[in-house]
Structures are given as structure tokens and as C-alpha cells.
Structure 1
Amino acid sequence: MSKNGFTLIELITTLVILGIISVFALPRLSGAEAFSVTSARDAGLSVARQVQLRAMQQEEPSHSCFALSIAATRMGGSVSSDTCKLGEDENRSDVVDLSDSDVRASGPSSIEYDLLGRPLCGGNSCKITFSQGSASASICANSEGYFYACD
């Protein structure tokens, strides 16, 4: 009696091993740039919404204490007037620090909000782009204040 071929158990075992190898090898082949940029964008999206909520909780529109500040290595809440004091040295949840990575942010230098949470970008667009090498991901805000991931 001659045996030609493989048994079902051998085929399933081979497919499972190939699946496990591909799960670990595929991220290494695609590069970490796209993952880092997407992670920074997601963190930035969360921070933009958090600063927006704080701005909406102000009692007077003339005291614009909270604005979203965007720099190449930092994005987050900033104090735009001397009447509101927040320590810059504290561990703040409304800041994305990009100084330890190669990801850079670009966009308007700051975005202020009205009491309804609408961004006051002036003539500038409310688009913040995170980039590293050839990978990039962006955050956009519509005129009513909804922040979303865009490209």
C-alpha cells in the first residue's frame, strides 16, 4: 500500500504555523513608521477633543484660557492668557509629547474655540498632520467642531 500526499492533520498544522509566523513577520516588513504616525494621530485626536471640552466649560467667552497649541514636537492644551495658570512641568493628560520619536506635527500654531466648541481657525484650515518619513496621518475639524481622522 503506497501513501501519496499529506494527512489532514499535517496540512492544518502547517497552515497554523504559517499563520503564526506571518502575524509576527508582517509588522516588521511594513515598517514602524505607519504605526507610529497613526498612534500619534489617535493620541492627538483625543487631546484635541479634551481641550475642546475644557474650552466649552468656560463661563465667559472673553477669557479664552484653553487653546490647542501645535508645535513640531508637542501638541496639546496651552494657556493663551495670564489669567489662567497651568503648570507646564506637570504631567498633563492634554498633551502629546513627540520629542522622543521621529514623528512631527504640523498645522496652525494654535486653535481656539468658542463656547460651543467650534474651532476659531480664522482663514487657516483646521488640519493637523503627523508625519514621519513617507508616512502621514491627519486630523481635521469641520466648522461645527467635530474632530476626525482624515487624509
Structure 2
Amino acid sequence: MARHFVPGQRQARGAGFTLLELIIVIVVIGIIGVVASARIQDDTGYTEYSLQFRFLSTLRNIQGKAMQDNRAGYCYRTIVSSSGDGAYGPTVVNYSSANQSASCGATIATNAPTFLAARGDEIGGKEVSVAFSEGVASPSYIDFDYLGRPITSSGSCASNICRVTFSGTATVGVCVESQGLIYAC
């Protein structure tokens, strides 16, 4: 006997999903998984922002040390190398009296931790280039005095803002103004 629709009476429905609905859900989840895993494994475009953030941290760290220590003869310096694969980092990590002359050196400390320095394989190896400019000049380092103001090999960022640019898929920068303001630009 056939069942007929009776107003006011609930119809019995099958519980669960149909086979077609399950297949569609599995296909959609598979597509999302493939797209997400490809994006997670590829850091294209993110490297520049990571280097920018780390360089901001490096400059602020060195600037803070300079403002807390007013001993004469010490340099609170960050080297920025645009040559080769590029690199940046402090000249020393330990500011003891034995390292006073090394603090004014021209090379990046070999024991600098990764949050203060980036080596060539991290920059050039990721197809990113570094440029450091102060108007028309291209200095090689930024020092900070006891008031947190920048001093470079070609001036003090006074006439122009000092800018370190990381260029790859994206182009981002870190700017330092003459009074010591450090920001992403």
C-alpha cells in the first residue's frame, strides 16, 4: 500500500548523508588541503617581511643598549652589507671592556644570535637583496649615541631618512630618522 501525504503529519526521512554529498565534501577538503599545503611550503613574499621585522628588532635592541650605556669609546653598531648575498648584524654581542675596540669594528659578530643578525644564505639564498641608503650616500653601518640618535659612516640621517630596503617578490624597508625613530616603511 502506498503512503500518501497527510497534512499535519511528519514524513519519515532517511538519516545521514547521501553518497554524492560525502563525495563532494571529500573532494572539497582535498582541494583545500592541496592549496593550503602548497602555500605553507612556499615562503615567497614572506621572507622580505620576516627580514624587515628582524632588522627592526636588531636596530631597536642596539639603540636600547646605546641609551643605557654611556661609556666613552664604545660603538653600538649594526653593520649592513649590500654586497654579495647581503647581511646585517651587530659588531659584538658582549660589551665588556675587553671588547671595546671590537665594538667599533667593520664585521658582523660571528656569535650574533639569529634574532640580531641575518647572514647571506638567509637573504641572498632566498633571492632577496639588501640596499642601505642615506639620500645619495650608501653607508655601511648605523651606530647609535647615548640619546638613541643614529650615526652612519656618511652622516647621521640628518638630511635624509636612512632606509634599509629588502627587495625580492615584495619590497619592504626599515627607516631611521635623525632623532632615532625606527619604523617599518
TM-score, normalised with respect to structure 2 = 0.60
State yes or no: 1:43 paired with 2:54.
yes
List gaps (5 residues or longer) in structure 2. Answer: 1-17, 93-98, 133-138, 151-155
Could you say if the C-alpha distance between residues 10 and 142 of structure 1 is closer, same or farther in structure 2, counting changes exceeding 3 Å? farther
Preserved CA contact (<8 Å) 2:88 2:108 = no
Determine the structure 1 residue equivalent to 2:78.
68
Preserved CA contact (<8 Å) 2:89 2:112 = no
Question: Helix, strand or coil: the match of 2:79?
Answer: strand
Could you tell me how far 1:91 is from its partner in structure 2?
A: 1.4
Preserved CA contact (<8 Å) 2:158 2:178 = no
Could you tell me how far 1:121 is from its partner in structure 2?
A: 2.0
Moved more, 140-149 or 110-119: 140-149
Which structure is higher in strand share? 1
Instruction: Report how many residues are paired.
Output: 140
Question: Helix, strand or coil: the match of 1:137?
Answer: strand
| Equivalent residue for 1:6, pick from 20, 32, 51 | 20
Compare CA radii of gyration and give the structure with the larger one.
2
Could you tell me how far 1:138 is from its partner in structure 2?
A: 0.8
Determine the structure 2 residue equivalent to 1:129.
165
Could you tell me how far 1:136 is from its partner in structure 2?
A: 1.8
> Could you give the per-residue CA deviations for residues 76-100 of structure 1, whole angstroms, max 9, x where no partner exists?
2237xx9432595631123221245
Matched to 1:67, the amino acid is R
State yes or no: 1:149 paired with 2:169.
no
Question: Helix, strand or coil: the match of 1:95?
Answer: coil
Could you tell me how far 1:23 is from its partner in structure 2?
A: 0.3
> Could you give the per-residue CA deviations for residues 116-151 of structure 1, whole angstroms, max 9, x where no partner exists?
32323232422110123x53221123454332222x
Determine the structure 1 residue equivalent to 2:13.
none
Q: How does 1:37-116 map to 2 (within 5 A)?
A: 37-60=48-71, 62-72=72-82, 73-78=86-91, 83-86=100-103, 90-93=110-113, 94-99=116-121, 101=125, 102-107=127-132, 108-116=139-147
Report the RMSD for the aligned CA atoms in angstroms: 3.1
